Structure 1
Amino acid sequence: MLVLLIVLLVLWLILTVVGFAIKGLIWLAIIGLILFLGTAAIGVIRRRAVRR
């Protein structure tokens, strides 16, 4: 499960960088950033749940 989260985070980060690099794809950067933050939040929540 942790590997899947890391892969998703890297994928969203790549989308964000590509979106910021190409001015016409700024929407891609915004979507990538939102997905990155969402995936990171889900990962943190699940890790805290597993510790308990």
Structure 2
Amino acid sequence: MYGGNGFVGQGTEGEITAVLMSAHHIFESSSNQRVAQKLIALKAMIVVPTPPLP
């Protein structure tokens, strides 16, 4: 089901990856540092936390 923001509520790994790749593409093609910083923060929020490295 889609939420009001257009993102998938129950996102599959593939859907999350697609969002990340899209954000990464915008980041790579953006020359606006402020926009890039916001995208980095958004990407950090979306990424599934990984266990800390030993």
- Which segments of 5 or more consecutive residues in structure 2 lack a partner in the other structure? 1-18, 50-54
Q: Which has the higher helix share?
A: 1
Question: Across the two proteins, how many residue pairs are aligned to each other?
Answer: 32
Q: Which runs of 5+ in 1 are unaligned?
A: 16-31
RMSD over equivalenced CA pairs, Å: 1.7
Using the alignment, how far apart are the partners of 2:33 and 2:20 within structure 1?
20
* TM-score, scaled relative to structure 1: 0.51
Kindly indicate whether structure 1 or structure 2 has the higher relative contact order, using CA contacts under 8 Å at least 6 residues apart. Answer: 1
Q: Give the TM-score, by structure 2 length.
A: 0.50
Residue 3 (structure 1) shift? 1.1
